[in-house]
Amino acid sequence: MSKNINTASARAFEPEFVEKLKDIFEQRILFNQVLGLKIDQLGAEEVTGHIDMRRELIGHFAHQRLHGGVISATLDAMGGLAVMAAIGARHLDEPPAQRLLRFSKLGTIDLRVDYLRPGIGERFGMRAQVMRLGSRVASTRMEFLDADGKLLSTGAAAYIVS
Amino acid sequence: MSKNINTASARAFEPEFVEKLKDIFEQRILFNQVLGLKIDQLGAEEVTGHIDMRRELIGHFAHQRLHGGVISATLDAMGGLAVMAAIGARHLDEPPAQRLLRFSKLGTIDLRVDYLRPGIGERFGMRAQVMRLGSRVASTRMEFLDADGKLLSTGAAAYIVS
Amino acid sequence: MSKNINTASARAFEPEFVEKLKDIFEQRILFNQVLGLKIDQLGAEEVTGHIDMRRELIGHFAHQRLHGGVISATLDAMGGLAVMAAIGARHLDEPPAQRLLRFSKLGTIDLRVDYLRPGIGERFGMRAQVMRLGSRVASTRMEFLDADGKLLSTGAAAYIVS
Amino acid sequence: MSKNINTASARAFEPEFVEKLKDIFEQRILFNQVLGLKIDQLGAEEVTGHIDMRRELIGHFAHQRLHGGVISATLDAMGGLAVMAAIGARHLDEPPAQRLLRFSKLGTIDLRVDYLRPGIGERFGMRAQVMRLGSRVASTRMEFLDADGKLLSTGAAAYIVS
């Protein structure tokens, strides 16, 4: 599928911005801690992350499958992170702390998740991409993959950004 | 909005069926335990439940708001429960244990959640309704409410029922 | 399902506003003419309309069924109309012509349609309701019914309003 | 974004199959004629098509924009076509006429469309991909592009296949 986004970021994020964004995302958003969400890469056009399978995340007692809600929750979170990275890249002139304040204004408008294959495995990867960043609304696409890169679920979401 | 569903169940579920379904839903689906999901009513056309606010469910550190993923996860789970109740009502001739086996065949095809208002409060209620139960696919609508019955989020989902 | 919206409009729309909105919606949005979309009721909290079956709207040559795209197109249009009516009701202090200008700023962010039953019949009704009207985003729910009021499809959409 | 699908079709479709599928899709599904839908490529993993702008397809009188319903209708149709091609590729052992009968059993379960940018231009392209083809349900992703390949809308849909 086409991308319509320049994948080469003009400039990389400062370590301070990355560190603080990781702290907010992985620690201070408490439910992300429950999910075990970890950021892997933080680019202006794509962010990636992962979660590890744990007993608490099981949705189907008989099959040791990941709960669908774990998938929808991580895809929503990753879509929001992608929007935050895109906003961060657009405002590189602002000091990191000021840029991060924009995170608290971000809200999910709506979310769609397509469950393609059961979530079985030890580790799962997520990828999110901003399809369009407007002044008021951002649209994203997300993917949930197993450790071999096989696509398990896809998602789409809209976020309010101002 | 219209309902197009006869809200009077022909017959109530047996206590054994209700008890076992509650055990599966509230205990054995481990992530539902993390969410704190509790079933309130189990009808052939509508199911209701609730969750209590807890620190781990916070999504927005600054505002003490529920994480959007908690909402999507509970709405997905409640939609599935509504389908299970509708299937259970259709097969009242089967022994409860056999009917419950059908639960393990249920899978979410896709889910949409619309986030209308921030999830702030001590307790939240959920409601799910089966819009159509086919031989292979079921469609549901769900609502996420605050303690005063104010609508915070709505959802729609499709399930494979085989 | 709950409504959380006061269904009694404070005041009715002026005939001039209704007439001009009908003209825009039924005539000047040319594809709505192709669909044969007609407004039946225009309230601040709910709008209703209908379309008549025509040969060009067929999607399934073998079964004389309505094309799914006719359903998605009418539900999108009706959701937008519901938002327009809600905005119109919020700005009753403005002259009708000025209020109608707001229509040209309305845009669909995203749309979901659930196809429950095949679209067979001579006439179909639509209903749309604004679930939340914010300063930037509005969310709606829509229904597509047959002549007997049987629910054939449901929809949900988000619109940008400013 | 990842594809997880082998893009090299094992074998091409017979001219008879392609011709008849085009006839059904472009002519016999009457509303597709209204939309002016044309198939460009028909592969087991991806199908492409286009429509030309016409006055009747306008949704916004002031801006000469394509009606959102034209986009949702074409994306739904293209997703269904992609599923049909995927089914056709899976049953290459069947005579073309028999394979085409499977088309009449296909139904859309639900559809999501994200409107990213206004539909302005003389010609628009569409692309649809099957993300998963199961024995009962297929999931697709679709794209709606302008003549320069710029992404205007994205979609996702689920179809019942048996």
pLDDT tens digits, one per residue of A84-143: 999 999 999 999 989 988 888 899 999 999 999 999 999 999 999 999 999 999 999 999
Would you say B145 and B152 are in contact if contact means Cβ atoms under 8 Å apart? yes
Half-sphere exposure of B118 (CA within 13 A, CB side): 14
Task: Give the residue carrying structure tokens 């169940």.
Answer: B9
The pair of three-digit structure tokens given for residue D9, joined into one six-digit string: 């079709």
**Residue in C closest to A110 by C-alpha:** C158
The pair of three-digit structure tokens given for residue D41, joined into one six-digit string: 């490529």
Touching subunits of A (3+ CB pairs, under 8 Å) are: B, C, D
Q: What is the DSSP string of C11-42?
A: SPPPHHHHHHHHIIIIIISHHHHHHT-EEEEE
**Residue in D closest to B161 by C-alpha:** D136
Q: Do A160 and C137 touch (CB under 8 A)?
A: yes
CA-to-CA dists, residue D132 to A115, C60, C131, D87, D110, angstroms: 10, 24, 33, 11, 15
Q: Do B2 and C132 touch (CB under 8 A)?
A: no
**Nearest-neighbour CA in chain A from B6: distance (Å):** 29
**Nearest-neighbour CA in chain D from C8: distance (Å):** 30
Touching subunits of B (3+ CB pairs, under 8 Å) are: A, C, D
What number of C-beta contacts closer than 8 Å exist between A and D? Answer: 58
Question: What's the pLDDT band for C150 if we cut at 50, 70, 90?
Answer: very high
Would you say B91 and B15 are in contact if contact means Cβ atoms under 8 Å apart? no
- Identity of the amino acid at C48: T
The predicted pLDDT at position C4 comes to 38
pLDDT digits (tens, 9 = 90+) for A29-85: 999 999 999 999 999 989 999 999 999 999 977 778 999 999 999 999 999 999 999
Measured CA to CA, the distance from residue A134 to residue D101 in angstroms comes to: 44
Mean pLDDT computed over B71-92:
96
Measured CA to CA, the distance from residue D6 to residue C61 in angstroms comes to: 33
Measured CA to CA, the distance from residue D111 to residue A35 in angstroms comes to: 28
Chain C interface disruption, residue of A136, A159, A161, A162, most C CBs within 10 A: A136
The predicted pLDDT at position C11 comes to 60
In C, which residues are within 8 Å of B158 by CB distance?
114
Considering only residues B45 and B63, tell me which one the structure prediction assigns the higher pLDDT: B45
**Nearest-neighbour CA in chain C from D69: distance (Å):** 4
Touching subunits of C (3+ CB pairs, under 8 Å) are: A, B, D
In B, which residues are within 8 Å of D162 by CB distance?
136
Task: Give the residue carrying structure tokens 């099981």.
Answer: A58
What number of C-beta contacts closer than 8 Å exist between A and B? Answer: 124
Question: What's the pLDDT band for D5 if we cut at 50, 70, 90?
Answer: very low
- D143, pLDDT greater than 80: yes
**Which has the closest alpha carbon to C26: C45, C44, C7, C47?**
C47
Orientation angle between helical segments A68-90 and A15-22, nearest 10 degrees? 150
Would you say D122 and D37 are in contact if contact means Cβ atoms under 8 Å apart? no
Task: Give the residue carrying structure tokens 């971000």.
Answer: A106
Q: Do D139 and A4 touch (CB under 8 A)?
A: no
Question: What's the pLDDT band for D11 if we cut at 50, 70, 90?
Answer: low
Strands, DSSP E only, in D61-102? 65-66
The predicted pLDDT at position A111 comes to 96
Question: What's the pLDDT band for D1 if we cut at 50, 70, 90?
Answer: very low
Would you say C80 and C106 are in contact if contact means Cβ atoms under 8 Å apart? yes
Q: Work out the burial of residue A158: count CB atoms within 10 Å of its CB; fewer than 13 is exposed, 13-18 middle, 19 or more buried.
A: buried
* Closest partner CB to C131 (pick from B129, B132, B151): B151
- Bridge partners (DSSP) of residue D65 are D60
- Bridge partners (DSSP) of residue C124 are C51, C146
At residue B105, φ and ψ (nearest 5 deg) are: -95, -10
Mean pLDDT computed over C43-58:
95
Would you say C37 and C77 are in contact if contact means Cβ atoms under 8 Å apart? yes
In C, which residues are within 8 Å of B131 by CB distance?
114, 116, 151, 154
The predicted pLDDT at position C106 comes to 92
Chain A interface disruption, residue of C105, C112, C114, C137, most A CBs within 10 A: C137
Mean pLDDT computed over B134-156:
97
In C, which residues are within 8 Å of D73 by CB distance?
67-70, 72-73
Q: Do D115 and C111 touch (CB under 8 A)?
A: yes
Q: Which of A9-13, C55-59, C76-80, D50-54 has the lowest mean pLDDT?
A: A9-13
Q: Do B56 and A35 touch (CB under 8 A)?
A: no
Mean pLDDT computed over C113-136:
96
Measured CA to CA, the distance from residue C66 to residue C57 in angstroms comes to: 6
Would you say C74 and C53 are in contact if contact means Cβ atoms under 8 Å apart? no
The predicted pLDDT at position D4 comes to 38
Q: Do C143 and B1 touch (CB under 8 A)?
A: yes
The predicted pLDDT at position C64 comes to 86
Q: Do D111 and C31 touch (CB under 8 A)?
A: no
The predicted pLDDT at position A11 comes to 60
- A146, pLDDT greater than 50: yes
Measured CA to CA, the distance from residue C157 to residue C112 in angstroms comes to: 6
pLDDT digits (tens, 9 = 90+) for D59-98: 977 778 999 999 999 999 999 999 999 999 999 999 998 9
Chain B interface disruption, residue of A21, A27, A31, A153, most B CBs within 10 A: A31
- B52, pLDDT greater than 90: yes
Q: Do B68 and A108 touch (CB under 8 A)?
A: yes
- Identity of the amino acid at C74: T
Q: Work out the burial of residue A54: count CB atoms within 10 Å of its CB; fewer than 13 is exposed, 13-18 middle, 19 or more buried.
A: middle
Mean pLDDT computed over D20-41:
95
Question: Which run of H or E residues covers position C69?
Answer: helix C68-90
- A10, pLDDT greater than 90: no
Measured CA to CA, the distance from residue D113 to residue D157 in angstroms comes to: 9
Tell me B102's DSSP state: G
The predicted pLDDT at position B11 comes to 60
**Nearest-neighbour CA in chain A from D7: distance (Å):** 12
Would you say C154 and C143 are in contact if contact means Cβ atoms under 8 Å apart? yes
- Bridge partners (DSSP) of residue B49 are B39, B126
**Nearest-neighbour CA in chain B from A103: distance (Å):** 10
Would you say D75 and D153 are in contact if contact means Cβ atoms under 8 Å apart? yes
For chain D, what percent of residues have pLDDT higher than 90?
81
Would you say D57 and C84 are in contact if contact means Cβ atoms under 8 Å apart? no
- Average per-residue pLDDT in chain C? 91
Q: Do A1 and D141 touch (CB under 8 A)?
A: yes
Would you say A45 and A130 are in contact if contact means Cβ atoms under 8 Å apart? yes
Helix then strand then coil, % of chain D, to nearest 5: 35, 35, 30
Would you say A105 and A162 are in contact if contact means Cβ atoms under 8 Å apart? yes
In D, which residues are within 8 Å of A149 by CB distance?
2, 4
Half-sphere exposure of C82 (CA within 13 A, CB side): 32
Measured CA to CA, the distance from residue B31 to residue A57 in angstroms comes to: 5
